[in-house]
């Protein structure tokens, strides 16, 4: 998963550079960015340290949406529910 995330990141950076010259590449660059973050979130979720895994997965997932606050709020709700 980490290798795939890195590969997607590299391709994203290449497209982002091209998008500075030709804006037509911007949509593809953003799609790859989201995919890389989603894969990274999945990879982090498998870490041995549960707290680090959760924090990193939530952070990466939050980067894939327009409103990161919704991801953080959903995580807080889930954590609160698990405390009951």
Mean pLDDT, consecutive 10-residue stretches, the chain (84 aa), reads: 86 92 92 88 86 86 86 85 73
7-46 burial, b at 16+ Cβ within 10 Å, e below that, comes to ebbebbeebbeebeeeeebeeebeebbebbbbbbbebbbe
pLDDT at 18: 93
Which residue ranges make up each domain of the chain?
A: 2-83
Both tokens of 18, joined, read 């091209």
Provide the pLDDT for residue 43: 87
22 vs 37: CA distance, rounded Å: 24
- How confident is the model at residue 53, as a pLDDT? 87
> Helices 50-62 and 68-83 sit at what angle, rounded to 10 degrees?
150
- pLDDT for position 84: 66
């Amino acid at each position: 998963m980490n290798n795939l995330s890195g590969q997607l990141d590299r391709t994203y950076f290449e497209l982002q550079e091209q998008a500075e010259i030709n804006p037509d590449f911007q949509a593809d660059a953003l799609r790859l960015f989201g995919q890389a973050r989603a894969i990274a979130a999945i990879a982090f979720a498998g870490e041995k340290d549960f707290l680090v895994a959760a924090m990193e997965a939530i952070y990466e997932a939050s980067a894939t949406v327009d409103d990161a606050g919704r991801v953080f709020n959903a995580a807080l709700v889930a954590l609160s529910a698990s405390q009951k």
